[in-house]
């Protein structure tokens, strides 16, 4: 069962590894990322950063979608992490059961607009977010479980 789909460019770090996994009673983290699979060093670091009682799976966007749609992941309390709005957009388009997306942290940059403490979006990100929202998917900003969740459409 998908407990949370989160965009966080840092992937596994303190907020995710301890706060979110505990809050959600997560027993498996799925990282859906094409880019990550090309970086053995980063993958090794993420394996070390994950909580000891949580399974970690790293797959391409396509393979993640296949696993989610097949039902093989249904037995887990699943936290899905994507590095970018583009990655979560691509995944959500392939997986209709993704109905809510948490924006937890995205990189800043000259071409990006800051819309909350840790969320920065490009014009392309905004287009994808709007499309997901128009499809009836909830896209919200919430850094940690104790924070109030804010509909991203109010921020962009």
Lowest mean pLDDT among 22-31, 58-67, 107-116: 107-116
pLDDT value at position 61? 98
Q: Which residue has the tokens 């809050």?
A: 23
Token reading at 29:
């983290």
Q: What CA–CA distance (Å, rounded) separates 64 from 89?
A: 13
pLDDT value at position 23? 94
62 Cα distance to chain centroid: 15
- CATH architecture under which domain 2-154 falls: 3-Layer(aba) Sandwich (3.40)
Q: What CA–CA distance (Å, rounded) separates 14 from 136?
A: 31
Contact 21, 50 (CB under 8 A): no
Q: What CA–CA distance (Å, rounded) separates 72 from 95?
A: 13
pLDDT band at 109 (very low <50, low <70, confident <90, very high): confident
pLDDT value at position 117? 87
Q: What mean pLDDT do residues 69-74 have?
A: 94
pLDDT value at position 40? 94
To the nearest 10 degrees (0 to 180), the angle between helices 61-70 and 85-94 is 40
pLDDT band at 17 (very low <50, low <70, confident <90, very high): confident
Q: What mean pLDDT do residues 105-113 have?
A: 89
pLDDT value at position 54? 95
Contact 88, 34 (CB under 8 A): no
pLDDT tens-digit series, residues 35-70: 999 999 999 999 999 999 999 999 999 999 999 999
| Stated pTM of the model | 0.94
Q: Which residue has the tokens 């990006």?
A: 112
Token reading at 139:
């896209």
Answer whether residue 15 shows pLDDT above 90: no
Mean of the per-residue pLDDT values for the chain? 94
pLDDT value at position 97? 95
pLDDT value at position 28? 97
CA 43 vs CA 20, 29, 120: distances in Å: 20, 13, 24
Give the domain ranges of the chain: 2-154
pLDDT value at position 69? 97
């Amino acid at each position: 069962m998908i407990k949370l789909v989160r965009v966080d460019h840092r992937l596994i770090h303190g907020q995710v590894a301890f706060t979110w996994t505990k809050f959600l009673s997560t027993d498996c983290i799925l990282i859906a990322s094409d880019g990550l699979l090309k970086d053995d060093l980063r993958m090794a670091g993420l394996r070390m950063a994950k909580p000891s009682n949580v399974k970690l799976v790293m797959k391409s966007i396509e393979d993640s979608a296949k696993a989610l749609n097949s039902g093989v992941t249904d037995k887990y309390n699943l936290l899905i992490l994507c590095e970018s709005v583009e990655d979560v957009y691509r995944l959500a388009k392939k997986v209709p059961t993704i109905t809510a997306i948490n924006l937890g942290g995205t990189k800043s940059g000259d071409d990006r607009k800051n819309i909350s403490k840790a969320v920065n979006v490009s014009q392309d990100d905004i287009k994808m977010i709007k499309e997901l929202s128009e499809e009836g998917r909830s896209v919200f900003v919430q850094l940690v479980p104790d924070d109030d969740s804010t509909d991203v459409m109010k921020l962009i």
